[in-house]
Amino acid sequence: MIKSILPLRAVELGYIANARTLLDGISLTINRGTFTVVLGPNGAGKSLLLRLLHGMLEPSTGTISWANGSSADRRRRQAMVFQRPVHLRRSVEANIVFALGALGIPRKDRSGLVQLALERAGLTAARRVHARLLSVGEQQRLSVARALAAEPDILFLDEPTASLDPVSVHRIETLLIEANARGTAIVLVTHDVSQARRVGQKIVFLHDGRINGQGPAPSFLDNPNSDVARAYLAGKIIV
Amino acid sequence: MVREFREKPYMHDLNAAILLAAQLIYTGDADLLEIIGLSIGVSLTAVLASCVIGMLLGAAIAVLKFRGRGAVTILLNSLMGLPPVVVGLGVYLLLSRAGPLGVFGLLYTPTAMIIAQTILVMPIVAALTRQVVEDFYAEYDEQLRSLGVRGRRLVTTLLWDARYSLITVALAGFGRAIAEVGAVMIVGGNIDHLTRVMTTAIALETSKGNLALALALGIILVGVSLLVNGAVASLGRRFGRSRYD
Ligand SMILES: Nc1ncnc2c1ncn2[C@@H]1O[C@H](COP(=O)(O)OP(=O)(O)O)[C@@H](O)[C@H]1O
Ligand SMILES: [Mg+2]
């Protein structure tokens, strides 16, 4: 077992597409076992930032560095849950097995990890069901279970509960808090202030492609150190 | 001649043909069974070969990024419309005694027919597979990249997940192969008991004026096509194809 790939350090990240600066001057450190919420209005660049951190896109400027591990280790030890769940056309169980195989987890370890992941997500009874027959809430829970199955050092989530009912939201938040307690660092993107309050330890407020304020969750949310963040948290529409 | 034709309306031929078709099937006519067997054997083999080559090729084009990808796609799409007689002629030139592959003596054999039909069907399978796999790839791309899926695993994953659409692709290929006459006629020669298949038999009987027999063979050919499609559909249902795909 190698050491954790964390901390993750992003320095002065920028992203320019079609001559538009979409992200600018983002510096950010994610330490082991932390729970960071990236908060901000639609179009702030939250999804883009997450894709850069997860290595889906190359930043135009700035650097992203991990503390340890080869590039293969880094792929294996991080995971991402996308806004819209994408599952292979096979059973719930087979989807998790596939992910473990793709991450290079030895065959003999897979069934144990799959069982654990299914249990934690409350999907054991649905293990043989075709993944695409699950309800939207269950599908997103499967996404989280699949992402957590290999016990990653860090998990990125892009508004995973944006279109779910309160019970499904609660179950996913519980999964995240439990995984965090086991040592997985979480970076959760949301535009939902009350969700940030429920789960976040640290808040990063993103607006117009820049970090517009950050701090420990309760104090930042109660007393944000930026005017835009204060307006957003007060429920005002900001542009 | 013309008068006689008028006095014998089409209905007469059609009725006679249906009767004849039923009779041929009911008595298990040995010549007919041989022709049906060869038709299915040749076309199925050609489709199988086309699927192995065409699906890998189509999937590779769908996931690889290379210069000239657009041109290759256009080329492949236009090859779907290759005229069978042109393919037949090309294969004939290759396989004839004087041709580059003449030493193998394959002309006027079922192997030559399989080669011709494979050339005819492979582009169809490749072009349709390219489209199907590309659509799947667009949906899966980020998730699979996030899981570190690349190379061969990427291609096999996409092909496997697209399996039900690809069965339809294979059926389209089979339909094209079993129905074409130009290519098998030129490279097979319609030799009785050797290279005669349903379509060439129909062409022969028509030219001899045995319209009822030709029509009966036509009806049987359509029936064979229906049977193959029906069998595949019911297999698909048994193995869990359903609305979510
Ligand atoms: N790959 C991309 N190429 C070009 N523009 C993009 C890309 N991704 C996002 N954008 C643009 O960047 C802006 C921020 O998008 P996004 O990160 O999705 O915002 P958020 O997730 O905060 O709602 C939007 O204006 C969007 O159109
Ligand atoms: Mg977003």
Ligand 1 atom 27: residue of nearest CA: A43
**Residue B11: its pLDDT value, please?**
65
Cβ atoms A217, A196 nearer than 8 A: yes
Pairing of strands A20-30, A61-66: unpaired
* Below-50 pLDDT ranges, chain B: 1-7, 243-245
A62 CB near ligand 1 (under 6 Å) = no
More confident residue, A167 or A239: A167
Domain coverage including residue B92: 2-244
Return the higher-pLDDT residue of A197 and A238: A197
- Which candidate from B139, B149, B161 shows the least CB-CB separation from A102? B149
Contact list, B240 vs chain A (CB under 8 Å): 130
* 3-class secondary-structure state, position A82: coil
By the 10 Å C-beta count (0-12 exposed, 13-18 middle, 19+ buried), B186 is classed as buried
Q: Which two tokens stand for residue B129?
A: 């597979």
**CA quadruple B237, B241, B244, B245: dihedral, nearest 10:** -140
**Which of A2, A13, A6, A5 lies closest to A206, judged by CA?**
A13
What letter represents residue B69's amino acid?
A: R
pTM over 0.80: yes
Instruction: State residue A191 phi and psi, 5-degree precision.
Output: -110, 10
Tell me if A102 and B148 make a contact (CB, 8 A cut-off): yes
Instruction: Name the average pLDDT for chain B.
Output: 91
Up-side HSE of residue B43: CA atoms within 13 Å toward CB? 28
B43: CB partners within 8 A, 6+ apart: B117, B174, B177, B178
Q: How far apart are CA B129 and CA B122, in angstroms?
A: 10
pLDDT at B234: 85
Identity of residue A116: L
Residue type, B78: S
Question: Is B149 in Cβ contact with A86 (below 8 Å)?
Answer: no
In CATH, what number is assigned to the domain containing residue B25? 1.10.3720.10
Percentages helix, strand, coil for chain B, rounded to the nearest 5? 80, 0, 20
B65 SS3 class? coil
For residue B7, the model assigns a pLDDT of: 45
∠ CA A84-A69-A111, rounded to 5°: 55
Could you tell me whether strands A61-66 and A78-81 are parallel, antiparallel, or unpaired per DSSP bridges? Answer: unpaired
Q: Which two tokens stand for residue A107?
A: 């065959």
Whether the link from the prior residue into A59 is cis, omega within 30° of 0, is no
Long-range contacts of residues A175-178, Cβ cutoff 8 Å, at least 24 apart: A175/A120, A175/A121, A175/A141, A175/A144, A175/A145, A175/A148, A176/A35, A176/A144, A177/A35, A178/A120
Answer yes or no: is the C-beta of A45 below 6 A from any ligand 1 atom.
yes
Tens digits of per-residue pLDDT, A124-141?
999 999 999 999 999 999
User: pLDDT at position B239, please?
Assistant: 67
Token pair belonging to A154: 């860090």
Number of domains in chain B: 1
Q: Over the stretch A41-52, which tens digit does the pLDDT of each residue have?
A: 999 999 999 999
| Substitution target from A56, A82, A84, A86 for chain B, most B beta carbons within 10 A | A86
Tokens 């009785």 belong to residue: B192
Cα–ligand 2 centroid distance for A178 (angstroms): 24
Structural tokens at position B157: 């994953």
β-strands A61-66, A8-17 pairing: antiparallel
Q: Which residues of A touch B147 (CB under 8 A)?
A: 98-99, 102-103
Tell me which chain B residue has its CA closest to the CA of residue A77.
B147
pLDDT, tens digit, 9 for 90 and up, residues A22-48: 999 999 999 999 999 999 999 999 999
Answer yes or no: are the C-beta atoms of A26 and A62 closer than 8 Å: yes
Close Cβ partners of A153 (under 8 Å, ≥ 6 residues apart): A4, A5, A6, A32, A77, A78, A183, A184, A185
Q: Is the CB of A152 under 6 A from ligand 1?
A: no
Query: Any CB–CB contact under 8 A between A90 and chain B?
Result: yes
Provide the ipTM.
0.92
Q: What is the pLDDT of residue A239?
A: 60
Place of tokens 């280790």: A73
* The A20-30 sheet, strands edge to edge: A20-30, A8-17, A61-66
The tens digit of pLDDT for each residue in A200-232 reads: 999 999 999 999 999 999 899 998 888 889 888
Res A64: pLDDT = 96
Question: Would you call the peptide bond into A7 cis, given omega within 30 degrees of 0 as the criterion?
Answer: yes
Q: How far apart (Å, rounded) are the C-alpha atoms in residues A238 and A207?
A: 9
Alpha-carbon distance of B159 to B133, in angstroms, equals 7
